[in-house]
Structure 1
Amino acid sequence: MTARTPRTYWVAGTAVLLALLFAAAATVAAANGDPGAARPLPGPAIPGLHSPDAGFARDMAVHHQQAVEMSFIVRDRTEDEAVRTLAFDIANTQANQRGMLLGWLDLWGLPKVVAEEPPMSWMGTFAGHGEHAGHGAAKPGALMPGMATKEELEQLGAASGRDAEVLFLQLMTDHHKGGVAMAEGCAQQCATPVEQALAQGMVDAQRSEITLMADMLGKRGAAPRG
């Protein structure tokens, strides 16, 4: 892991928490009639149900949940310290980010699941251009681009040692590539500044981890898939 990866997530997460704390403090002070309290400034409009902000929060929460699941699986399938450390970092970071995304949906009064909304439909044509074109469609059996299938998760759970390490690194590389494409979509299209900042932090950190995982695969005589 590079030193900048956890720091990138920490900075983005801190910005989110500070924004929420300041907003809550201003609201409480105003409600208590504190004459010395500054009235809260008008904030940005609450995102709509099908906005990029809401769609990204819903989809990335699901995407992150699988990364956490795969990380916990490989933790019990290998004794390799480097892989276990990477898995811990991914699980910890993405679980925390998932909590932020779901928390925003609660603050906005929006549902965490919209039955009639296809995954990543909020991205529009963004996923079909340039660098994102290869991540615009999920493989058969996967919910979103980059996500593993049920069969792949079962295969990971049945593997051990080097086989588990290689499969995990390959699956997580694919997962990160799909996640980066989605996070870039939010960084470009979301209207909520703290969410844009978090999305850009995801892009930077996951690209760094993709490079790291390619190196880890090379040391095991393997390579990323595709």
Structure 2
Amino acid sequence: MTRTHWAAITAVVLALLFAGAATVASAGGSPPAADTPSAASADAGFARDMSVHHQQAVEMSFLVRDGTDDEEVRRLAYDIANTQANQRGMMLGWLDLWGLPKVEAGTEPMTWMHGDGDTSGHAGHGSAHDAGDAGDAPLMPGMATKAEMAKLAGLSGEEAEIYYLQLMITHHNGGVAMAEGCVRLCEVGTERSLAQGMVDAQRSEVELMVGLLKKRGAQPRI
């Protein structure tokens, strides 16, 4: 199997372990809210979409850990993978607790953000530098395309570090916009708190990654 396949499998296993732990923990305590959110709610939409968004960040981070020996970048990648797999497990656990599907058939990503008039998160927006055609457009804000993921998997050394940092800055910026949407629209207090934590942590990591790029003579992509 290729390095990309192993990274994807590892990421999925890690996320599923966290999801199982989150479901057990949630079942043993009080639910995050007195009223169960509906499938069309911002709470459910954010949990579904951010779980997908986080999964790609985990996969990207495993790819760069395999592609470089630089301890600073590898440590950052591990922290991102561990944090986002954990958060993904929490969100999937809540969906299980609420009795809601993890995939809503017939619903485009980011429609839950339209509640405050924000349509910037509609599918197809985000980074598409290496997309090549509309069929490889990113699924959600900041997400890498299939072509970009394949390119990252084929790089090594400083080239892999720079490309990962550029992709992850864009990824984080998209994630921050989504999390800010949940802070505005979600009704479950625990979920709003998680979303605000994502905003704060990912903004801090973006600043760190911009600095790492500068050390390598590179800049974030516009």
TM-score, normalised on structure 1? Answer: 0.79
The answer for the alignment partner of 2:125 in structure 1 is 137
The answer for the alignment partner of 1:36 in structure 2 is none
TM-score, normalised on structure 2? Answer: 0.80
Identical positions, percent: 59
The answer for the alignment partner of 1:71 in structure 2 is 61
Secondary structure, counterpart of 1:65 in structure 2? helix
The answer for the alignment partner of 2:80 in structure 1 is 90
| 1:24-64 deviation line (CA, Å, top 9, x unaligned) | 8xxxxxxxxxxxxxxxxxx5210011100000000000000
Secondary structure, counterpart of 1:23 in structure 2? coil
Unmatched tracts of structure 1, length 5 or more: 1-15, 25-42
Q: Structure 1 CA distance, aligned partners of 2:117 and 2:27?
A: 30
5 Å-filtered alignment, 1:156-175, equals 156-175=152-171
Mapped contact 2:116–2:185 kept (Cα < 8 A) = no
Secondary structure, counterpart of 1:76 in structure 2? helix
Q: Structure 1 stretches (4+) deviating beyond 4 angstroms?
A: 16-21
The answer for the alignment partner of 1:188 in structure 2 is 184
Cα deviation, residue 22, structure 1 = 3.6
Q: Structure 1 CA distance, aligned partners of 2:92 and 2:25?
A: 17
Cα deviation, residue 197, structure 1 = 0.3
Q: Which has the larger radius of gyration?
A: 1
Seen in structure 2, the aligned counterparts of structure 1 residues 207 and 221 have a Cα distance that, compared at 3 Å, is same
The answer for the alignment partner of 2:106 in structure 1 is 116
The answer for the alignment partner of 1:146 in structure 2 is 142
The answer for the alignment partner of 1:58 in structure 2 is 48
Greater length-normalized contact order (CA 8 Å, ≥ 6 residues apart): 1
Cα deviation, residue 221, structure 1 = 0.1
Mapped contact 1:127–1:185 kept (Cα < 8 A) = no
Q: Structure 2 CA distance, aligned partners of 1:207 and 1:147?
A: 16
Cα deviation, residue 20, structure 1 = 6.1
The answer for the alignment partner of 2:210 in structure 1 is 214
CA RMSD of aligned residues (A): 2.4
Cα deviation, residue 23, structure 1 = 2.1
Mapped contact 1:78–1:84 kept (Cα < 8 A) = yes
Mapped contact 2:124–2:138 kept (Cα < 8 A) = no
